[in-house]
Amino acid sequence: MLKAVILIGGPSKGTRFRPLSLDVPKPLFPVAGLPVVQHHIDACYRLGQQRNSIPEDDCKSNVSKYCVAEVLLLGYYGDDELADFLLTATQSYPSLRIRYLREPDALGTAGGLYHFRDTILAPLSNNDGSESKQVQAFFVMNGDVCADFPLNEMLDMHFNNNSPQSQHQQKQPVLITVMATETTRQQSVHYGCMVVDKETNIIQHYVEKPSTFVSNTVNCGVYLCSPRLFDTIADIHLEMSNSNGNGIQQHTSSNKNNINQQQQQKPTEERVASAMVMWMEQDVLRRLAGESGSGCSSGGDGGSRIKKDAVCGGVALAATTRNWWSQLKTAGAAIYANRHYLALRQQRQRLLQRKSIDLPLPSPVKCRLATADPNGGYSTIGNVYVHPSAQVHPTALLGPNVSVGEGACIDQGVRIKESIVLQDAVIGQHSLVMHSIIGRRAKVGAWCRVEGSAACSDPNPNVAYAKMTPQLPLFNALDGRLNPSITILGCGVNVESEVVLLNSIVLPYKTLTRSYKNEIIL
Ligand SMILES: Nc1nc2c(ncn2[C@@H]2O[C@H](COP(=O)(O)OP(=O)(O)O[C@H]3O[C@H](CO)[C@@H](O)[C@H](O)[C@@H]3O)[C@@H](O)[C@H]2O)c(=O)[nH]1
């Protein structure tokens, strides 16, 4: 049985995503018609369906070898902020158990995992009440990445690690398999960089966001972890506790198990007190890198707070993919992800049709792509998603790469391309919307032009396999204006008729009565 943990962070995260993250938590921002993290859940759901062709209802009870049975969202948002989403997701994927684990505070990308280790490793009960199998492995996925997740490939590498190792090296268990991709030298320094042995796929060296070039193989923020990884994290926790001088006794390998047991037996309140900020990248991966029997070298980035002198008991592998992958840090990146998720869905639908496979899909995944209606409905170009409750006038033309959210209203003669129109937004007659995101309940009057550019600081939607390119400053130093970017209308913005809005960001609830170019309207 597998589980998946999605790291969704909390309200202090997602600042570059403003103003879109002001009224909806970034992990729930809709891309190609689904909240960002639902694409992760969808990938986990499909894994079970594809690998084992298990009927949807049997997935949990069968506890098949590679079936994800539970998805845990891990973050520090208030419970209320996720309640509606959890309800909808649970209804959409009845075979998956989906829960939210709230960290007492921001514990970092590994601190929260360690804090909730018992829950993550807990077996699930079968429908008949009997305990199911143990957790064989669990995925950890950064909630702010978008991708054609290669979960099958990661499983194959993790469990069938048959790659040859050098004569001097003993085969060691795989503790973690990291999804990796190739970038340019320039891009690489914005990510976790890994030096990987091409024969064995073992990560030999790891540096998080290095100041100079290390490698163009980068960490995609998606991991497949063995339960034993928690032993390594326990070591790190202990070392950090010691170096913080909080009185926990010095760790030796002989007392490691005792300490783990003591930690497990502690009442919840005490464990909350011992919760500690730890990072998967700087603390865990960096320590594991080089654990291929050649000993742990000290590395050169100087950024880790942990010495790499302990035996980690296993190796870290890199599963390098050529699949599409990108981060969702800025609003511009949402336009890019929208394009790729729409294309991916189209590709999957075609494949299923060709193979005449009737895969049981959860309700929101069905019937998502709009097509031109020959009986006088609206026209589309390329991939377009329109929520069934949205109203689109028959004379409107949408696409390519457009998503229209629930209850949105698109009036006659409207043209929209490369854009996301959110829930209950209204686009008035004969207006043009291009490279833009129209916020929830925003209103664009008649004969308006709302246009952004496929900016150079965001992944260019026209470039395949584009990653985040180095950021341009928000403002041009010469004239103080906003550098070209997509146009964003915040929630409840009202644009009066005949206004032209170019490369601008409008904060929520503003009313625009005149035209703007390259400005942030506060
Ligand atoms: N639960 C929880 N989640 C967190 C916390 N801090 C961050 N996260 C979540 O963890 C993910 C990554 O966190 P960032 O701190 O934003 O890291 P990053 O700059 O995106 O870099 C990471 O991802 C890159 C790939 O996208 C990697 O290349 C890089 O090495 C690193 O893993 C995000 O989804 C974020 O919401 C925390 O305290 N608690």
For residue range 172-215, what is the model confidence (pLDDT) as tens digits?
A: 789 999 999 999 888 899 999 999 999 999 999 999 999 999 99
Closest among 179, 173, 172 to 221, alpha carbons compared:
179
Q: Which residue has the higher pLDDT, 165 or 232?
A: 232
CA-closest candidate to residue 95, choices 331, 292, 362 = 362
Residue bearing the bigger pLDDT, 353 or 384: 384
Q: How confident is the model at residue 357 (pLDDT cuts 50, 70, 90)?
A: low
Q: How far apart are CA 222 and CA 108, in angstroms?
A: 15
pLDDT at 144: 95
The finding on whether 210 has its CB within 6 A of some atom of ligand 1 is no
Give distance in angstroms: CA of 182 to centre of ligand 1.
19
Measured in angstroms, how far is the CA atom of residue 141 from the centroid of ligand 1?
9
95 lines ligand 1 (CB under 6 A): no
27 lines ligand 1 (CB under 6 A): no
Return the pLDDT at 66: 77
Give the tens place of pLDDT for each residue, 403-442. Answer: 999 999 999 999 999 999 999 999 999 999 999 999 999 9
Question: SS3 of 420, please?
Answer: strand
pLDDT at 391 over 80: yes
Say whether pLDDT at 297 is over 70.
no
Residue 251 has pLDDT above 60, yes or no: no
Contact status, residue 456 vs residue 466, Cβ threshold 8 Å: no
Q: Is the CB of 405 under 6 A from ligand 1?
A: no
Rounded CA gap, 144 and 35, in Å?
11
Angstrom distance (rounded) from CA 193 to CA 205: 8
Question: Mean pLDDT across the stretch 217-239?
Answer: 94
Residue 375 near residue 391, CB atoms below 8 Å: no
Q: Whose Cα sits closest to atom 19 in ligand 1?
A: 191
Strand 391-392 relative to strand 325-327, pairing: unpaired
Instruction: Give the pLDDT confidence score for residue 363 in this predicted structure.
Output: 44
Distance 261 CA to ligand 1 centre (A): 29
pTM (predicted TM-score): 0.86
| pLDDT over 60 at 499, yes or no | yes
Which among 6, 7, 215 is the best mutation to test ligand 1's pocket, defined by most ligand atoms within 8 Å of the CB? 7
Ligand 1 within 6 A of 103 CB? yes
Ligand 1 pocket check for 144: Cβ under 6 Å = yes
Distance CA 403, CA 419 (A): 7
Return the ligand 1 atom nearest residue 105 CA: 38
Alpha-carbon distance 320 to 145, whole Å?
16
Residues 114-144: pLDDT tens digits? 999 999 999 987 666 666 678 999 999 999 9
User: pLDDT at position 60, please?
Assistant: 45
**Share of residues in the chain with pLDDT > 70 (%):** 73
Structure tokens at 511: 């009313």
Q: What is the pLDDT of residue 300?
A: 42
Distances (CA, A) of 284 to 190, 238, 279, 315: 19, 13, 7, 11
Residues in the chain: 522
pLDDT over threshold 80, residue 33: yes
Which protein residue's CA is at the shortest distance from atom 2 of ligand 1?
9
Q: How far is the CA of 109 from the centre of ligand 1 (A)?
A: 6
- What sign does the CA torsion over 55, 59, 62, 66 have? positive
Instruction: Report the separation in Å between the CA atom of 466 and the middle of ligand 1, taken as the mean of its atom positions.
Output: 20
Tokens of 377: 């409905």
> Helices 79-92 & 36-52, crossing angle to 10 degrees?
30
β strands within 183-330, DSSP E: 192-196, 203-208, 217-225, 315-320, 325-327
pLDDT for 239: 84
Q: Is the CB of 7 under 6 A from ligand 1?
A: yes
